Amino acid sequence: MLEGKNILLGVSGSIAAYKAATLVRLLIKAGANVKVVMTPDSTNFITPLTLSTLSKNPVHTQYFDPETGEWDNHVDLGLWGNAMIIAPASANTMAKMANGLVDNLLTAVYLSAKCPVYFAPAMDLDMWKHTATRDNIAQLQSFGNILIPPGSGELASGLYGEGRMAEPEEIVAFLEADIRKKLPLVNKKVLVTAGPTYEAIDPVRFIGNHSSGKMGFALADELASQGADVILVAGPTAQKSEYKSIKRIDVTSAAEMLDACLENFDSANACIMCAAVADYTPAHVAQQKIKKTEDHFNIELKKTTDILKTLGQQKRDDQVLVGFALETNNEEQHAIDKLKKKNLDLIVLNSLNDSGAGFKSDTNKVTLIDRQLNKTTFELKSKAEVANDICLAVVDLLNK
| pLDDT computed for residue 256 by the predictor | 97
| pLDDT computed for residue 68 by the predictor | 65
Q: Are residues 14 and 116 in the same domain?
A: yes
Does the N-terminal peptide bond of residue 282 adopt cis geometry, omega within 30 degrees of 0?
Answer: no
pLDDT band of 151, cuts 50, 70, 90: confident
| pLDDT computed for residue 69 by the predictor | 65
pLDDT band of 350, cuts 50, 70, 90: confident
| 247 annotated binding-site participant | no
d(CA 290, CA 97): 74
Helices (H) and strands (E) in the chain, counts: 13, 21
Q: Are residues 78 and 158 in the same domain?
A: yes
| Chain segment 235-284, per-residue pLDDT in tens | 999 999 988 889 999 999 999 999 999 999 999 999 999 999 999 999 99
Instruction: Give the strands of the sheet with 146-147, arranged side by side.
Output: 33-38, 6-11, 83-89, 117-121, 146-147
Segment 47-65 mean pLDDT: 90
| Chain segment 293-340, per-residue pLDDT in tens | 888 889 999 999 999 999 999 999 999 999 999 877 888 899 999 999
For the chain, how many structural domains are there in total?
2
| pLDDT computed for residue 152 by the predictor | 80
d(CA 190, CA 87): 35
Using DSSP bridges, classify how beta strands 146-147 and 117-121 pair: parallel, antiparallel or unpaired.
parallel
User: Domain with 83 in it: what CATH number?
Assistant: 3.40.50.1950
Domain end: 165, 182, 199, which one? Answer: 182
Domain end: 161, 182, 203, which one? Answer: 182
d(CA 400, CA 374): 15
Backbone phi and psi for residue 225, each to the nearest 5 degrees, phi listed first: -65, -20
| Chain segment 92-150, per-residue pLDDT in tens | 999 999 999 999 999 999 999 999 999 999 998 889 999 999 999 999 999 999 999 99
| Chain segment 221-248, per-residue pLDDT in tens | 999 989 999 999 999 999 999 888 899 9
Which H/E stretch holds residue 376?
strand 375-377
Segment 29-45 mean pLDDT: 94
The most distant pair of C-alpha atoms in the chain lies apart, rounded to whole Å, by: 93
Q: Are residues 101 and 126 in the same domain?
A: yes
| 342 annotated binding-site participant | yes
Would residue 92 count as lying in a domain?
A: yes
Q: Are residues 246 and 275 in the same domain?
A: yes
Q: Are residues 381 and 249 in the same domain?
A: yes
Q: Are residues 151 and 234 in the same domain?
A: no
Share of the chain above pLDDT 70, in %: 96
Would residue 226 count as lying in a domain?
A: yes
Share of the chain above pLDDT 90, in %: 76
Residue 355 pLDDT > 80, yes or no?
Answer: no
| Chain segment 192-222, per-residue pLDDT in tens | 999 999 999 999 999 999 899 999 999 999 9
Q: Output the CA torsion sign for 218, 231, 243, 390.
A: positive
pLDDT band of 358, cuts 50, 70, 90: low
| 338 annotated binding-site participant | yes
| Residue 358 vs residue 83, higher pLDDT | 83
Q: Are residues 228 and 123 in the same domain?
A: no
E strands present in 168-262: 189-194, 199-200, 206-207, 229-234, 247-250
| pLDDT computed for residue 356 by the predictor | 61
Q: Output the CA torsion sign for 30, 34, 36, 37.
A: negative
d(CA 81, CA 63): 18
Which H/E stretch holds residue 222?
helix 214-225
| 309 annotated binding-site participant | no
Would residue 1 count as lying in a domain?
A: no
| Chain segment 364-378, per-residue pLDDT in tens | 889 999 999 999 999
Domain end: 182, 206, 226, which one? Answer: 182
Q: Are residues 173 and 145 in the same domain?
A: yes
Q: In the 8-state DSSP scheme, what is residue 41?
A: G
User: Domain with 215 in it: what CATH number?
Assistant: 3.40.50.10300
Cβ neighbours of 371 (radius 10 Å): 13
User: Which of 174, 180, 204 is CA-nearest to residue 23?
Assistant: 174
Q: Are residues 164 and 240 in the same domain?
A: no
Would residue 360 count as lying in a domain?
A: yes
Q: In the 8-state DSSP scheme, what is residue 276?
A: B
Domain that holds residue 94: 6-182
Residue 360 pLDDT > 70, yes or no?
Answer: no
| pLDDT computed for residue 343 by the predictor | 96
Q: Are residues 262 and 231 in the same domain?
A: yes
User: Which of 378, 376, 387, 308 is CA-nearest to residue 340?
Assistant: 308
Q: What is the pTM of this model?
A: 0.74
Contact present, 252 and 270 (Cβ < 8 Å): no
Instruction: Spell out a b/e string for 271-296, using b for 16 or more CB atoms within 10 Å of the CB, else e.
Output: bbbbbbbbeebbeeeeeeeeeeeeee
| pLDDT computed for residue 244 by the predictor | 82
Q: Output the CA torsion sign for 271, 277, 280, 281.
A: negative
| 244 annotated binding-site participant | no
| pLDDT computed for residue 351 by the predictor | 76
Size of the chain in residues: 400
Q: Which amino acids are annotated catalytic? A: 209
pLDDT band of 362, cuts 50, 70, 90: confident
Would residue 63 count as lying in a domain?
A: yes
Contact present, 322 and 344 (Cβ < 8 Å): yes
Segment 155-164 mean pLDDT: 74
Residue 352 pLDDT > 90, yes or no?
Answer: no
Residue 73 pLDDT > 90, yes or no?
Answer: no
Would residue 68 count as lying in a domain?
A: yes
Q: Are residues 163 and 235 in the same domain?
A: no
Q: Are residues 46 and 132 in the same domain?
A: yes
